């Protein structure tokens, strides 16, 4: 399926769900499995129809925007930073969830400390090597389970799942965790990302079924 057909299909799917009356809940669920989700033992592949092949020698992570110390990290630079392991659940807006995903990489808080965002920075805009983008409030990125991951289940993240590096933000729907991550830009004003401008929720809270704008 081409990138354009994939995008059209996802937009139609969102429109059908809205037509069915799927709206944000007034009270958040306290269950581990968010409302409207089904558990899977597999790991479905969803992307823009483009899976860039990025060698470690050509990969870089750009940290810029409203920061005191902008930096571009090579693969070796990135792995020279403190590494963490974290186990979290993964919730896709297309109604599947996967429990106990084991990720390894660099905590967002480590990157935050490295670049020292200015006080006016309130949002993070993520960009990817496949042309993808998404946006998250800075405060939510500072949770201790948010990271830029380079390993999954003890091995390198497969290309189809966003390798060599992707963002993991477990408390939000997974489209907020950009695959093939290339850049993190700190902003004072919110800037909508790829799916956000196409009708998906800007806040993406799985426990209130906040799927669509």
| pLDDT, tens digit (0-9, with 9 covering 90-100), for 39-57 | 999 888 866 677 899 999 9
Q: Measured in Å, how far apart are the chain's first and last C-alpha atoms? A: 26
DSSP states along the chain = --HHHHHHHHHHHHHHHHHTT----SS---SSS-TT-EE-SS----SSS------GGG-EEEEEESBSS-EEEEHHHHHTSPPEEEEEEEE-TTSEEEEEEEEEEEEHHHHHHHH-B-TT--EEEEEETTS-EEEEEHHHHTSTT-EEEEEETTEEPPGGGTTT-EEE-TTS-GGGS-SSEEEEEEESS----TTGGGTB-SS--GGGT--B-
What's the CATH architecture for 3-208?
Answer: Alpha-Beta Complex (3.90)
Give the predicted TM-score (pTM) of the model: 0.87
- Give CA 179 to chain center in angstroms: 7
Domain layout of the chain by residue ranges = 3-208
Express each pLDDT in 7-21 by its tens digit.
665 566 566 555 555
**Residue length of the chain:** 213
Residue 22 has a pLDDT of 55
State which residues of the chain have pLDDT below 70.
1-3, 5-28, 46-48
Residue 105 has a pLDDT of 98
Residue 196 has a pLDDT of 96
């Amino acid at each position: 399926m081409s990138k354009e057909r994939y995008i059209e299909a996802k937009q139609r799917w969102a429109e059908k769900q809205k037509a069915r009356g799927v709206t944000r809940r007034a009270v958040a669920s306290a269950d581990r499995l968010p409302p409207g989700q089904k558990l899977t033992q597999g790991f479905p592949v969803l992307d823009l129809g483009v899976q860039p092949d990025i060698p470690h020698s050509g990969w870089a992570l750009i940290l810029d925007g409203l920061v005191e110390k902008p930096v571009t990290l090579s693969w070796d630079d990135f792995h020279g930073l403190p590494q963490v392991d974290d186990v979290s659940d993964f919730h896709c807006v297309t109604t599947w969830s996967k429990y106990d995903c084991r990720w390894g990489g660099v905590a967002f808080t480590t990157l935050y400390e490295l670049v020292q965002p200015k006080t006016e920075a309130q949002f993070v805009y993520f960009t990817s090597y496949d042309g993808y983008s998404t946006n998250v409030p800075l405060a939510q990125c500072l949770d201790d389970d948010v990271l830029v991951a380079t390993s999954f289940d003890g091995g390198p993240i497969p290309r189809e799942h966003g390798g060599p590096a992707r963002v993991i933000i477990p408390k939000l729907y997974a489209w907020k965790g950009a695959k093939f991550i290339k850049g993190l830009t700190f902003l004072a004003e919110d800037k909508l990302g790829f799916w956000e401008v196409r009708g998906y929720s800007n806040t993406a809270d799985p426990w209130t079924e906040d799927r669509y704008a």
